[in-house]
Amino acid sequence: MTIPVLSSRKSERSVQREASRLNVNSDQQMWVEKYRPQKLSEVFDQEQVVSRLQAIVKRPNEMPHLLFAGPPGTGKTTIALCLAREIMGESWRDYTLELNASNERGIDTVRERIKNFASYADRREGIPFRIVLLDESDAMTSDAQQALRRIMEESSRTTRFILTANYSSNIIEPIQSRCAIFRFSRLAESDVVQYLEQICKKEGVKFDDQGLEKIYEATEGDMRHALNMLQAASTLGDISSESVTKVAGLSGRSKVAEVLDMAFEGDFAEARNKMIELLQVSGMSEHDFIKFANEALTRSDYSSSIEAIQATAEADYRLLQGSNPDIQLSAYLATLAKIGKESQASKMKKKE
């Protein structure tokens, strides 16, 4: 099972804060690090990706630039690090530059850090080239990607680039054409639950199937998030549906459903107040709000409403682009309230 490295996403930070609040021992190693694979052979998910990379390890001099694309928490970074270890051996850290492109996304980073690192050739035996690992490269600016393209061309004899991205469509075409693309899929529930069972047994934590299934339901195949949640829930004792709900805030789903009901009933002001409470008091992220809203919408009487579905998609897109969450979610609820009023008026007209 793939165990990716930690990221700074808001939902994961909130789980870690909850674990800290519940007095996790400071000496206790994070499970995402403790149980992260060190070799490709230790990964028993993403079989097609692993088998293709194992063939590359046998002929490292023929390795092209690589682009790993897929949802978060599916093992992109972990597999990239495993690949670096197997090609470089024990000295892999000396010849690998790992950057999170979402934090260092500008052209200056590309021109200075990456270009300087990639410009050196290594003559040590067993080191075929240097590796530059760019995590979340789809967050890089267009100018930075153009500069990176030129560096990839100029340093192809001395350096290989491994790029990871949630959305490969955000990578410019000239870079995509220079990479072998590996597409990662979300982990299956049976695989995640099986791996969580193994960890619980190793850590001596009691669990039931409902608790582990609840973790998968909350994380949707994101193994990094699942392990963070499992460790946080273990501080409460047994891994049960109740402990997972408390740690993960799964009750937020029902609260978001209540907000949508208020909006559809035309009570926009109350719906907005409840939404603000969830975001600012309960600490729910705006992306979780939209995700839960979409789930609630599919179970509501408005599941076939084209306008409601389109409003959800537009709000999600604008949030991903960095728009103000309060403004965008307020506009979203206002649209739902309008849809609800129009639906009620239409029903009244039919009755007449």
> Using one digit for the tens of pLDDT, what is the confidence trace for 252-267?
677 898 999 999 998 9
Residue 168: pLDDT over 50: yes
Residue 193: pLDDT over 90: yes
Residue 214: pLDDT over 70: yes
Please state, rounded to an integer, the average pLDDT across all residues of the chain. 84
**Taking a C-beta distance cutoff of 8 angstroms, is the pair 6, 49 a contact?**
no
Average pLDDT over residues 20-42: 72
Residue 270: pLDDT over 50: yes
CATH superfamily of 46-183: P-loop containing nucleotide triphosphate hydrolases (3.40.50.300)
Average pLDDT over residues 175-190: 92
Domains 46-183 and 189-248 share a fold: no
Residue 116: pLDDT over 80: yes
State the amino acid at position 81 in one-letter form. Answer: L
Q: Decide: helix, strand or coil at residue 182.
A: strand
DSSP 4: P
State the amino acid at position 22 in one-letter form. Answer: L
Structure tokens belonging to residue 199 = 């960890």
Structure tokens belonging to residue 346 = 């239409």
CA angle 268, 272, 273 (to 5 degrees): 120
Average pLDDT over residues 320-339: 91
Residue 248: pLDDT over 80: no
**CATH for the stretch 189-248:** 1.10.8.60
Helix (H) / strand (E) containing 98: strand 96-100
pLDDT at residue 28, rounded to an integer: 59
First-residue to last-residue Cα distance in the chain? 61
pLDDT at residue 200, rounded to an integer: 93
Residue 26: pLDDT over 60: no
CATH topology of domain 252-340: Zinc Finger, Delta Prime; domain 3 (1.20.272)
Average pLDDT over residues 35-46: 87
User: With bands split at pLDDT 50, 70 and 90, how would you rate the model's confidence at 21?
Assistant: very low
pLDDT at residue 39, rounded to an integer: 92
Pairwise CA distance, residues 347 & 352, whole Å = 9
Q: Where exactly are the structural domains of the chain?
A: 46-183, 189-248, 252-340
User: With bands split at pLDDT 50, 70 and 90, how would you rate the model's confidence at 170?
Assistant: confident
Average pLDDT over residues 85-98: 89
